[in-house]
Chains A and B, each alone.
Chain A
């Protein structure tokens, strides 16, 4: 099944509650995907230090402090890091893409699961709410967050296979469903020079969107292009440095519900994930139409 939750805050006074609200939303979706989970937070000042870039890693073979010291020497700048098992977080006064490249060079066996100026990605295997509590999600702050509970269908139950797939700067894509023609699209992207980390079908969608955005296409257009290119079942939540977007396939068999108030926009697989949001009783609640792209900007 998989469960998707996302919260885009418009009201700054709610920023300190982002992690707590997202944790509650995630908790309601545990039974849609109890095997693994991932979450991404935009704007937590501890996880994404102001003025520094952030890189999130999985399978780092050395402790974060040791890797940070090595990177500090190779980049000739101060890099700091800490472990949130199994995720590792690194910060540095250097471009996020440059820091990610340096990480790949120093620890090629580790996997970059997110990079950007404002974004931290955390993933793990196990009960989603246990993971969220272990990572400290309830006390996180920020302006936007997405999370996913995974019921694996297309690839193995690993932390790498959990969503969000974050393959472009400050970008995340979470998916409920499966793509049926992803291999042919993957081969075309590879011919165009795009490299892949996993056998996961959702990564193909994320790479596709990231490529369009890198080429200057706006998010709405990129998702319309995705609709034209991908077959299969998908409800997608896509977030960027300033946007929050939802799109569903033409058949729309995977559920989605959106609630919107002046204070926030939220999306989830089911209403019960939205039930405790502040002011939800006065929200405009609706189900997104098939193949229609919904985008909110900061």
Chain B
């Protein structure tokens, strides 16, 4: 007889279980629908590769690559996240209630990444369709080579925002230390206010879209042109 998924909340403790054992449980066909993981103590690669609509809450700070490659699952971190949280996410939602380290949401193709606190350098680097909403500030080189998706920042952005940007859209409420090559300020039209309002609502932030500035690609670097050589 096929195993029946339990709907009861389950607690997995990383002080007494290995990261591998917890990840195997979370990705198994018999995984509970709702799981709380306690005692993460900065463990790496926690809740990685999830591919069902499981709801995972991690109580504490996590290390590198938490919730990487996520599909369908909702992962909430009640703490800070290390390097590469939600890296290469495909769908689902990852919510970090503290700060995130470098390369949050790197190369992610879809889904929603919400960071209540600050994100460090290279947030959304090479984003390919993910939506990222950051309640605090982001570090330098964020959205570098961003190809698709939206990056929303309620605080300030560091140096070289959107360097070599393709088609990702960036909304920043605070200051931008500097724009990267080919990234320019753009007009906020009604469609952008609507899009931003929807993103803020989904991420759970109460903010006025009209306070944000939109940034995007000037599309000068798509093809090599000798007059742009100094920008490469």
Contacts and interface: CB of A to CB of B under 8 A. Distances in A.
Given A285-B61, A290-B121, A270 B42 contact: yes
Contacts of B80: 271, 285
A272 B140 contact: no
Interface string B30-54: 0000000000011110000000000
Interface residues of A, number: 18
A9 to B, nearest CB: 21
Contacts of A290: 121, 139-140
Contacts of A273: 42
B83 to A, nearest CB: 6
A271 B102 contact: no
Contacts of A153: none
Contacts of A270: 42, 63-64, 82
Contacts of A28: 42
Contacts of B120: 252, 287
Interface in A87-102: none
A296 interface: no
A271 B83 contact: no
A272 B43 contact: yes
Chain B interface extent, by class: 10 to 19
Interface in B69-83: 80, 82-83
Interface in A259-278: 270-276
A255 interface: yes
B101 interface: yes
Nearest to B80: A285
Q: Which 6 A-B pairs have the closest CB atoms?
A: A272-B42, A275-B41, A271-B42, A287-B120, A271-B61, A275-B42
A286 interface: yes
Contacts of B121: 251-253, 290
Nearest to A272: B42
B163 interface: no
Interface in B98-140: 98-99, 101-102, 118, 120-121, 139-140
20 contacts: A252-B120, A253-B121, A255-B82, A255-B83, A257-B101, A270-B63, A270-B64, A270-B82, A271-B42, A271-B63, A271-B82, A272-B63, A275-B41, A275-B42, A285-B61, A285-B80, A285-B99, A286-B99, A287-B118, A290-B139
Most buried by B among A271, A285, A289: A271
A200 to B, nearest CB: 26
